[in-house]
Amino acid sequence: MQTNVLLRNVGVADSYQIETYVQQGGYQALAKVLEEGQPSKVKEVVLNSGLRGRGGAGFPTGRKWMFLPKGVYPRYLVCNADEGEPGTFKDRVLMEHDPHGVIEGIIVSSYACEVEHAFIYIRGEYNLGYQRLRNAIDQAYAAGFLGKNIRGSGYDLELSLIQGAGAYICGEETALLSSLEGKRGHPKLKPPFPAAQGLYRKPTIINNVETLFNVPFIVLNGSDWYRQWGTELSPGIKLFSVSGHVERPGVYEVPLSTPIRDLVYDICGGPKDGVPLKAIIPGGSSTRMVRADVAMEARLDYEALCDVGSDLGSGAVIVVNEKTCLVRLVARLAGFYRHESCGKCIPCREGTDWMYKILQRIERGEGRAEDLPLLLDICNNIAGKSFCPLGDAAVQPVRSSIERFGEEYEFHIREKRCMVDG
Ligand SMILES: Cc1cc2nc3c(=O)[nH]c(=O)nc-3n(C[C@H](O)[C@H](O)[C@H](O)COP(=O)(O)O)c2cc1C
C-alpha cells in the first residue's frame, strides 16, 4: 500500500509556489502552533508520535529535542539537506517539489525548540532544489512566515540557505557544522553532542529534511494519527528511493513495516526485464547487503531490517540482479568511500585506500588467495576505530558481501575472471 501524505504536492502544477502551497492547506500547522503559543506542546506531540530521524541513524526526534539544555540561548536548528549517500534521492524530491513543506517543517520545529536562527545545508550539486528553496524562502519572508514577529505572534526566525561544495562527509552532522562555521568539513569529537554544544558552540538541533517535513503533519493530525502506520518502535510513513534493477525506480511513500517484496514487486513493477534478483541493499550504500531471497521476506522498518542483518538507513533501496558482478559493484562503492574519506584519521584514510586497491586487483583477475582474509582484517581495523562513522559505513558493503556472497570473490580469485560476465 502506498500513502500520499509527504508526496501529496508532487505532480501538482506550480507546487513550489507559495500560493499553491497555501491553497493545498500549507502553513496551517504554523498557524496552529503560533495560536497555541506553547513550544513544549509541539515537542510533546513529536515525542509521542515516535518519529525517528530519517537521515540514517533513526534516532527518535522528540528525544533529541529534549536534550537541548534549559535556558541556554541562542540555539540553532540545522536542516541536513546534504543527501550524499549513494542510492539516496528522497530529500531532493521534497525540496524540488515542495520547498514550502520543508520550510514549514523547519519553522514549526524551530518554534518547538525555541530557535531564532535556522539553516538549511544543501548538497552543492542540487541546483534546482537550491533555486526552489531560495525562491520559497524569499516568498515566506514576504508573506511574514519568516523574519521578525511572524504573523504578529512575537516569534522571530531567520532562515539561511547554505550550499555545500560536494563533500559526502559534510552530511555527517559535526562535519556539517564545521563547514557551516566556514572551516574545513572535518568531523568533531562527540560528546559534546550538537544538541548540547553545536554550531558556534551553542545548542544545535540537526535533523534531516524528511524528518522535519513530517512535523507539520504530526502537529496538525496528532500522534495517534501518525501511529496508525508502522509498528510500536517504527511508527509512521517513510520515503524510499528505489534504484537499480526494477521496472519502475523512483521515490515512493509507504508505511514503515511494508514488506520489501511489496515495494519491489507491486510498487516498482518487479525485477527489470524479469532477470532474477541477487541482492538488496536496503538503506543506502552504508548498510549491509542482503541476499535477495532473505530480503524478500523482510519488512521495511528499523527492527525488521536489523533482524536480517542490515539497517533501514536513509531508506535507499538498491536492487541488484543476477547479471551484476558484486565484486565490481563493491569495488565501485569502495572507490566512493576512498574518495570521500576526509583524511583526518588513519584507519579510514589508509583503510579505504587499501580496500579499494585490493578489490580492484581481484576485479582485474589478479586476486591472491590471502586477499579475502586481508580485506576482512582491514575491515576490522576500520570499523569502530575511525574518528567518525564514515569508516564504519565504508566497511559495510565490503564485509557483508564477502560474508554473504563469498563464492563470487573466490571464483574471481581462483578463475581470474568474473562469475557473471566472464
Ligand atoms: C558520512 C555520513 C554522511 C551523512 N550524510 C547525511 C546526509 O546527507 N543527510 C542526513 O540527513 N544525514 C546524514 N548523515 C547523518 C547525520 O550525521 C545525522 O545523524 C542526521 O542528519 C540527523 O538527522 P535525523 O535525526 O533527522 O536523522 C550522515 C552521517 C554520516 C556518518
Q: Which of 160, 203, 158 is nearest to 180 (CA)?
A: 160
Nearest CA to ligand 1 atom 1: 390
Q: Look at residue 278 and tell me whether its pLDDT is greater than 70.
A: yes
The pLDDT confidence band at residue 422, using thresholds 50, 70 and 90, is low
Q: Which of 7, 5, 1 is nearest to 250 (CA)?
A: 7
Sorted by where each starts, the structural domains of the chain and their CATH numbers stand as: 18-221 (3.40.50.11540), 237-321 (3.10.20.600), 327-415 (1.20.1440.230)
Angle between helix axes 127-142 and 99-112 (nearest 10 degrees) is 60
| Cα 65 to middle of ligand 1, angstroms | 16
Per the structure block, which three cell numbers stand in for 281?
541493499
For residue 287, the one-letter residue type is T
Residue showing cell 558484486: 326
For residue range 197-246, list pLDDT tens digits in order. 999 999 999 999 999 999 999 999 999 999 999 999 999 999 999 999 99
Q: Is 114 left (phi over 0), alpha (psi -120 to 50) or beta?
A: left
**Which numbered atom of ligand 1 lies nearest the CA of 175?**
17
* Ligand 1 surroundings by CB, under 6 angstroms: 53-57, 59, 80, 82-85, 168-169, 171-173, 206-208, 211, 388-390, 393
Q: Which of 47, 61, 66, 80 to mutate to test the pocket of ligand 1 (most atoms within 8 A of CB)?
A: 80
What integer pLDDT is reported at residue 419 of this predicted model? 87
What integer pLDDT is reported at residue 421 of this predicted model? 76
**Which numbered atom of ligand 1 lies nearest the CA of 82?**
8
Distance CA 83, CA 406 (A): 31
| Cα 322 to middle of ligand 1, angstroms | 31
**Which numbered atom of ligand 1 lies nearest the CA of 64?**
25
Per the structure block, which three cell numbers stand in for 205?
538541533
Share of the chain above pLDDT 70, in %: 100
Q: Which residues of 260-284 are buried (b: 16+ CB within 10 A; e: fewer)?
A: bebbbbebbebbbeeeebbbbbbbb
For residue range 317-373, list pLDDT tens digits in order. 999 999 999 999 999 999 999 999 999 999 999 999 999 999 999 999 999 999 999
| Cα 172 to middle of ligand 1, angstroms | 5
The four Cα atoms 385, 391, 397, 398 give a dihedral, to 10 degrees, of -60
**Which numbered atom of ligand 1 lies nearest the CA of 123?**
8
**Which numbered atom of ligand 1 lies nearest the CA of 389?**
31
By DSSP bridging, strand 316-321 and strand 290-291 are unpaired
Alpha helix segments (H runs only) across 252-382: 260-261, 292-295, 302-307, 326-340, 346-363, 371-382
Per the structure block, which three cell numbers stand in for 356?
579499494
Nearest CA to ligand 1 atom 8: 83
**pTM assigned to the model:** 0.98
Distance CA 244, CA 326 (A): 13
Distance CA 289, CA 16 (A): 36
Nearest CA to ligand 1 atom 29: 172
Average pLDDT, the chain: 97
| Cα 386 to middle of ligand 1, angstroms | 17
Q: Is the dihedral of CA 239, 242, 246, 248 positive or negative?
A: positive
Q: Which of 288, 83, 101, 302 is nearest to 176 (CA)?
A: 83
Q: Which of 346, 328, 343, 344 is nearest to 397 (CA)?
A: 328
Residue showing cell 583503510: 351
Q: Look at residue 23 and tell me whether its pLDDT is greater than 70.
A: yes
Q: Which of 66, 94, 173 to mutate to test the pocket of ligand 1 (most atoms within 8 A of CB)?
A: 173
Nearest CA to ligand 1 atom 25: 53
HSE-up (13 A, CA, CB side) for residue 171: 26
For residue range 137-158, list pLDDT tens digits in order. 999 999 999 999 999 999 999 9
For residue range 41-79, list pLDDT tens digits in order. 999 999 999 999 999 999 999 999 999 999 999 999 999
| Cα 178 to middle of ligand 1, angstroms | 14
| Cα 54 to middle of ligand 1, angstroms | 8
| Cα 336 to middle of ligand 1, angstroms | 17
Distance CA 44, CA 35 (A): 17
Residue showing cell 495560536: 35
Distance CA 318, CA 260 (A): 11
For residue 347, the one-letter residue type is P
